[in-house]
Amino acid sequence: MTNARAGRLYVVATPIGNLGDLSVRARDTLQASNLIAAEDTRHTGALLKHFGIQTPLVSLHEHNELERAPELVSRMQNGAAISLVSDAGTPGISDPGFDLVRAAAAAGLDIIAIPGPCAALAALSIAGLPTDRFCFEGFLPARRAARRTRLTELAPEPRTLVFYESPHRVREMLEDCALGLGSARPAAVAREITKLHETLYRGSLSQLAARAAAEADFARGEIVVVAAGAAPDEDTGGGADGHGGALDRVLKPLLAELPLKQAAHLAAQIAAVGGNEAYKRALQLKQAYGAP
Ligand code: SAM
């Protein structure tokens, strides 16, 4: 066996579009493994066929991972070399894999990374935003109110933020980012990385939201959104509301859903602050972020 030793788990990254990105080491490992645990066996089957790899496949997806992990661990304990792959990119990164890795670690098995493509890191590396410290947020909540609450919580975060998003939600997601993180925040949207229609859009969050609304192609294909972190002097509501950000955290999502007066009234009750104060702050926020 060239590259896959018995009784080990190999966590193998696969291409996020361009098949040329499957590393030689990944190919050798997949070839030499006894079994490949794949998120979707048909999808990975096509990849293996392309590379002439005949290793058997077993499915490991979010609905069967917990129950299948012990069985795979026992096969590795009995000497099998197993590779773990997802549909694209690095397993475990907004993809199945964590439960199997955890079970293998608990059993004391060797776990070897075969690193390669990851859309989040690829987008970050070309976004032109600070890369020294960053925060991977994966997918934001699909429901708008929950997404806005999460973004309001993230507003004071100084590290660069990296999000995955599905194309049918990216327009409203960017609107919410402009509202929650600040419309002037520099950001980038990387679309279809490594593929034919690869495009990188740069601009402020409000400019990107406007482009997403105006250009049909913007919301086609796979997308990563990268947003700058809060600047040191940026007012993200952390102190400007006079309550350490607690009032803003409640007010912002309410303002997005309700008339100003009603939002201020509810926020005053939830954050336990005076009604006039909440109303004044609501007016300030509305002026700063515009009508949601
Ligand atoms: N494990 C994968 C990785 O390492 O990148 C991510 C899997 S996650 C289910 C899929 C999301 O990754 C997509 O919705 C999109 O946000 C992002 N993505 C994957 N491939 C991409 C590509 N070629 N270009 C841009 N974004 C991509």
Q: From first to last of the 292 residues of the chain, give the pLDDT tens digit.
A: 445 677 999 999 999 999 999 999 999 999 999 999 999 999 999 999 999 999 999 999 999 999 999 999 999 999 999 999 999 999 999 999 999 999 999 999 999 999 999 999 999 999 999 999 999 999 999 999 999 999 999 999 999 999 999 999 999 999 999 989 988 899 999 999 999 999 999 999 999 999 999 999 999 999 999 999 998 766 665 556 777 677 877 887 888 788 999 999 999 999 888 999 899 888 877 765 554 4
Topology (CATH) of 8-117: Cobalt-precorrin-4 Transmethylase; domain 1 (3.40.1010)
- 120-227 maps to which CATH number? 3.30.950.10
Q: For a pocket test of ligand 1, which of 222, 225, 226 has the largest count of ligand atoms closer than 8 A to its C-beta?
A: 222
Q: What's residue 1's pLDDT?
A: 43
Q: Is residue 20 classed exposed, middle or buried when 0-12, 13-18 and 19+ CB atoms within 10 A define those classes?
A: exposed
Q: What's residue 247's pLDDT?
A: 83
Ligand 1 mean position, distance from CA 173 (Å)? 16
Q: What's residue 236's pLDDT?
A: 62
Q: What's residue 240's pLDDT?
A: 65
Question: Does 59 sit in the ligand 1 pocket, CB within 6 Å?
Answer: no
Q: What's residue 204's pLDDT?
A: 94
Backbone angles phi, psi at 290, to 5 degrees: 80, 175
Task: Name the pTM for this structure.
Answer: 0.83
CA nearest neighbour of 37 among 3, 5, 71 = 71
CA nearest neighbour of 9 among 108, 124, 121 = 108
Question: Does 122 sit in the ligand 1 pocket, CB within 6 Å?
Answer: no
Packed helices 260-271 and 246-257: angle between N→C axes, nearest 10 degrees: 150
Q: Specify the amino acid at residue 234.
A: E
Q: What's residue 198's pLDDT?
A: 97
Cross-strand pairs, 12: 114
Question: Does 86 sit in the ligand 1 pocket, CB within 6 Å?
Answer: yes
Q: What's residue 8's pLDDT?
A: 96
Question: Does 89 sit in the ligand 1 pocket, CB within 6 Å?
Answer: yes
Q: Which two tokens stand for residue 156?
A: 């004071």
Q: Which two tokens stand for residue 3?
A: 């590259």
Q: How far is CA 208 from the centre of its chain?
A: 18
Question: Does 90 sit in the ligand 1 pocket, CB within 6 Å?
Answer: yes
Cβ pair 90, 116 in contact under 8 A: yes
Nearest residue CA, atom 16 of ligand 1? 164
Q: Which two tokens stand for residue 260?
A: 């100003």
Q: What's residue 262's pLDDT?
A: 93
Ligand 1 mean position, distance from CA 20 (Å)? 17
Task: Compute the 3-state secondary structure of the chain and give helix, strand, coil in percent, each to the nearest 5.
Answer: 45, 20, 35
Long-range contact pairs involving 32-36 (C-beta distance under 8 Å, separation at least 24): 32/1, 32/2, 32/3, 32/4, 32/81, 33/4, 33/81, 33/82, 33/83, 34/4, 34/75, 34/80, 34/81, 34/82, 35/72, 35/75, 35/80, 35/81, 35/82, 35/83, 36/82, 36/83, 36/84, 36/85
Please state, in angstroms and rounded to a whole number, the distance separating the CA atoms of residues 255 and 217: 30
Question: Does 199 sit in the ligand 1 pocket, CB within 6 Å?
Answer: no
Domains of the chain, by residue range, sit at: 8-117, 120-227, 244-289
Q: Which two tokens stand for residue 185?
A: 């925040």
Q: What's residue 257's pLDDT?
A: 81
